[in-house]
Structure 1
Amino acid sequence: MKLVLWLLSLALSHHAAGGFLMHLASECPLAANGSVLWFGFSLVFNKNPLVCYNEQDRLFEACDMGLLNKVAQNMTTFLNRDPGWLQRMAGGRQACQSQGQRLWGQTAQRMTRPHVRIVSTALANPAGAVRLTCHVWGFYPAAVRVSWWHDGRLVDPRQDNLTAALANGDWTYQTHVTLLVTPQPGDTYACRVQHPSLPQDYLEEWRPGLSPGLTVKVSVAVVVLSLGLIFLITGMVYWYRAPAPGYSPLLGHNYPGGST
Structure 2
Amino acid sequence: MSSLWLIFLVLFMPGFLKASENSAGIYVLQWKAECQYNNDGQDIVLMLKHYYNAEFFIEYDSRKGKFSAKTDFGKIDAEYWNNNTQYIDQLHAQVDTVCRHNYEGLKEPLVDLKIVPEVAIITTKNSGGLSMLMCFVSGFYPPKMGIQWLRNGEEVKDDVVSTGIIQNGDWTYQIQLTLETVPKAGEKYSCKVNHDSLKEPLIVDWNPALSPSAKNKLITGAGGFVLGGIFIIVGLVIYLRNRKVATRIPVSQSEGLMS
TM-score in terms of structure 1 length? 0.52
How many corresponding residue pairs? 197
Aligned to 2:58: 49
Counterpart for residue 157 of structure 1 = 154
Distance in 2, Cα, partners of 1:180 & 1:105:
42
Residues 227, 23 of structure 1: alpha-carbon distance in 2 compared, 3 angstrom cutoff: closer
1:77 aligns with 2:83: yes
Query: Is contact 2:62-2:92 (8 Å) kept?
Result: no
Corresponding residue for residue 35 of structure 2: 28
Partner Cα distance (1:30, 1:67) in 2:
30
Q: How far 1:174 moved relative to its partner?
A: 1.0
Q: CA 1:131–1:69 in structure 2 vs 1: closer, same or farther (change >3 Å)?
A: closer
The CA distance in 1 between the partners of 2:61 and 2:29, in whole Å, is 16
1:175-225 CA deviation, whole Å, 9 max, x = no partner? 112331467xxx9x865333246785333422386xxxxxxxxx9xx98x9
In structure 2, C-alpha distance between the alignment counterparts of 1:229 and 1:41, rounded to whole Å: 78
Structure label with greater radius of gyration: 1
Q: Does 1:40 align with 2:46?
A: yes
The residue identity in structure 2 corresponding to 1:157 is: E
User: Residue by residue, what CA displacement relative to the aligned partner does 1:135-162 show, whole Å, maximum 9, x if unpaired?
Assistant: 12243453123335xxxxx3x735399x
User: What's 1:167 paired with?
Assistant: 164
2:148 counterpart (145, 148, 168): 145
Q: CA RMSD in A?
A: 4.8
Query: Do the aligned residues in 2 keep the contact of 1:146 with 1:191 (CA within 8 Å)?
Result: yes
User: Which residue is equivalent to 1:133?
Assistant: 132
Identity of paired residues, percent? 5
- The correspondence for 1:61, drawn from 50, 63, 66, is 66
Instruction: Point out where structure 2 has 5 or more consecutive residues left out of the alignment.
Output: 1-18, 20-26, 168-172, 215-223, 255-259
Q: CA deviation at 1:110?
A: 3.6
Alpha carbons of structure 1 residues 133 and 250: separation in structure 2 relative to 1, 3 Å: farther
Counterpart-to-counterpart distance in 1, 2:32 and 2:230: 78
Name 1:242's counterpart in structure 2: 246
> 5+ unaligned residues in a row in structure 1: which ranges?
1-11, 13-19, 124-129, 149-153, 210-218, 252-260
CA 110–158 in structure 1, closer or farther in 2 if over 3 Å, else same = closer
Q: Which has more strand, going by share of residues?
A: 2
Contact 2:81–2:87, Cα closer than 8 Å, also in 1? no
The Cα offsets for residues 12-68 of structure 1, whole Å up to 9 and x where unpaired, read as: 9xxxxxxx665544333333x643533124463642226x35457xxx535349676
Q: CA deviation at 1:250?
A: 6.3
Equivalent-residue separation in structure 2 for 1:23 and 1:226 (angstroms): 72
